[in-house]
């Protein structure tokens, strides 16, 4: 990476949910703040800003990452996916999201964005997840409302649906 001056803003360009975006960022600007305040993509939530709660999880080149522990300038040239990119359209839900809704896998919904992003990546890697594997993945997130069980149930059901009918409106990776 080229040397960046702390005192100046730098143009950072990347792909956000399939669309090219760019913004001016000081090197210290967090990716979470760049998304929310710079680009108005407020689906990514900020719960702790020290990497524990997982609410701000995004995918960078398909890999889950904490936006609060990532600098905006690190997104340069990357493919970034956030919760806004999971559904096939603004008014449609992905299979996983629809299953969350059916199972009441969210109450306040604040942690949900990050959990969906993590699970979306995991289900692509492991289409046959066990409950234990899912508990470990969701263990990277804090949810204060649900007690987690409905989240695990929703994901098991979504995984089964995705396996049985690959043509379902899964969140196609971009």
Can you give the binding site for another protein, defined by CB under 8 A?
26, 28-29, 33, 37, 45, 47-50, 52-53, 55, 104, 106-111, 134-136, 138-152
- Smallest gap, in angstroms, from Cβ of residue 59 to another protein? 20
Q: Which is nearer to another protein, 69 or 168 (CB)?
A: 69
> Any bridge partners for residue 13, and if so which?
22
Q: Which is nearer to another protein, 41 or 143 (CB)?
A: 143
- Mapped onto helix, strand or coil, the DSSP state of residue 59 is strand
- Mapped onto helix, strand or coil, the DSSP state of residue 69 is helix
- Smallest gap, in angstroms, from Cβ of residue 6 to another protein? 12
Q: What is the token pair recorded at 146?
A: 């649900």
Q: Which is nearer to another protein, 93 or 168 (CB)?
A: 93
| Chain centre to alpha carbon of residue 81 | 6
Q: Strand order in 19-25's β-sheet?
A: 19-25, 10-16, 79-81, 57-60, 63-66
- Smallest gap, in angstroms, from Cβ of residue 143 to another protein? 7
């Amino acid at each position: 990476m080229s040397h960046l001056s702390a005192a100046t803003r730098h143009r950072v360009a990347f792909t956000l949910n399939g669309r090219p975006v760019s913004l001016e960022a000081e090197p210290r600007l967090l990716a979470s703040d760049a998304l929310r305040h710079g680009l108005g993509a407020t689906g990514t939530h900020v719960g702790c800003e020290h990497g524990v709660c997982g609410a701000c999880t995004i995918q960078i080149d398909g890999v889950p990452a904490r936006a609060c522990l990532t600098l905006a300038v690190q997104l340069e040239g990357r493919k970034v996916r956030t919760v806004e990119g999971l559904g096939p359209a603004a008014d449609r839900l992905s299979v996983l999201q629809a299953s969350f809704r059916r199972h009441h896998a969210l109450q306040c919904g604040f942690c949900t964005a990050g959990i969906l992003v993590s699970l979306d990546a995991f289900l692509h890697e492991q289409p046959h997840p066990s409950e234990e594997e899912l508990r470990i993945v969701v263990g990277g997130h804090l949810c204060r409302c649900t007690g987690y069980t409905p989240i695990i149930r929703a994901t098991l059901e979504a995984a089964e649906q995705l396996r049985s009918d690959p043509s379902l409106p899964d969140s196609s990776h971009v």
